[in-house]
Amino acid sequence: MENPIISIGESVHASIPKTGKVMKELCALGTAAYTQPSDALDYIKSTIENQVADGADYIAVNVDAFGEDEPALAVNLMVEYVRLVRKWSKGVPVCIDSSNDNVLAAGLKEWFNTDRDVRPPLINSIKVYTADNIMPLKKKYDFSFIGLLVTEDKPTGPGGSHSVDELFALAKKLFAKAVNEYGFGPEQIFFDSTVFPLAIDMPMEPGVAGYTYRAFETIKQIKSDPAMKNVHCSLGISNCCRDLPGRKIGICRAYLAKAAEYGLDAGIVNVSHHYGRVPPDPQLYELVSAFANMDGSPEKTGQAMKLMSQFCAANRKPG
């Protein structure tokens, strides 16, 4: 069955406890670890192959947890894992995911370091202030990218955060640079307006719209702009349920369903859950919808807080 969204498999990520533990074990085995048989390598192989079987359009790899103290190690590990994806993904391209531009560049170069024909990978992510570090690689390597709508400058929107207008302006700036200066096609651009956990999406001051509201409204503006026709919008869906007491898969399912109404057509997800193929639970959909509607008015803020309180009370595990 065809995916209703472009699914970016999230499971080869060093911050996931079980996977991270295995990745550390593999790293401890030395440089031969990525070619010599071991239980750890078998685990990574099955993680890649299972995501392919579940219909992933990209296999994301993130090794940033290894680079906090040793940036060079993260660069080397990304090269190793890109090779593993190329070896076991049956042609499904890699999504090279890092906050370090050197890691992104190393992974991109390795993906094409083969005599085989490979499909263009996805880079996650490029920001306005890092674009000129990564986009020039388009001259040599064909790739798509996720444009993260953040800035180094202090946000000037209500409540000290980015307004929808600011986020949309960042998207237009990234789009113009990518298309006009570096030759990307609109279909190679994925915008990420950032998922904020619902559990802490609460107004910092009266009259300020919530983060979910702003993220979704930004998607709507991007997808409604004729000048940016054919671009994609993607979110890291699993972040929406962080710190909630239960029903996390259901919340993610409802969140994606609601975001799709605004134009979301891609997501970094656990592909085994087949998001978008199963209707969301009506109560969870109502909860997410309340946050999507939280425009800063007292009534809508109160409704979102009421539903969240009820959800937490119903799902909180006994002490």
58 beta partners: 8
Tens digit of pLDDT for each residue in 110-150? 999 999 999 999 999 999 999 999 999 999 999 999 999 99
Asked whether the whole model's pTM tops 0.85, one would answer yes
Cβ contact 192:236 at 8 Å:
yes
Neighbour count for residue 97 (Cβ, 10 Å) = 26
CA 240 from centre of chain: 11
Number of CB atoms found within 10 A of residue 154's CB: 6
How many Å apart are CA 74 and CA 100, to the nearest integer?
9
**Residues of the chain whose pLDDT is less than 50?**
1
Find all residues with CB under 8 Å of 251, minimum gap 6, and list them. 198, 240, 241, 244, 284, 287, 288
Measured CA to CA, the distance from residue 196 to residue 137 in angstroms comes to: 31
Single-letter amino acid code for the residue at 109: K
Q: Which residues contact 289 (CB under 8 A, 6 or more apart)?
A: 258
What is the average pLDDT score of the chain? 95
Distance between CA atoms of residues 14 and 124, nearest Å:
15
Tokens of 207: 């009259």
**Strands 232-236 and 94-97, how do they pair?**
unpaired
Q: Which are the contacts of 205, defined by CB distance < 8 A and separation ≥ 6? A: 158, 159
Q: Which two tokens stand for residue 24?
A: 């550390």
pLDDT at position 66: 95
Q: What is the pLDDT of residue 1?
A: 42
**Cβ neighbours around 238 below 10 Å, total:** 22
Per-residue model confidence as pLDDT tens digits over 240-282: 999 999 999 999 999 999 999 999 999 999 999 999 888 999 9
C-beta separation of 270 from 10 below 8 A: yes
Angle CA 75–78–83, to nearest 5? 135
Write the CA distances from 230 to 2, 132, 175, 283, integer angstroms: 19, 23, 12, 33
- Give the C-alpha separation, 123 to 147, whole Å: 9
pLDDT value at residue 316: 87
Q: Are the beta carbons of 291 and 210 closer than 8 angstroms? A: yes
pLDDT of res. 2: 57
**Residues 241/248, Cβ–Cβ less than 8 Å:** yes
All domains of the chain in start order, with CATH: 1-85 (no CATH), 120-315 (3.20.20.20)
Q: How far, in Å, CA of 270 to CA of 34, rounded?
A: 24
Cα-based angle 298, 304, 305 (whole degrees, multiple of 5): 85
Tell me the CA distances in angstroms from 308 to 152, 193, 259, one per residue in order: 32, 23, 18
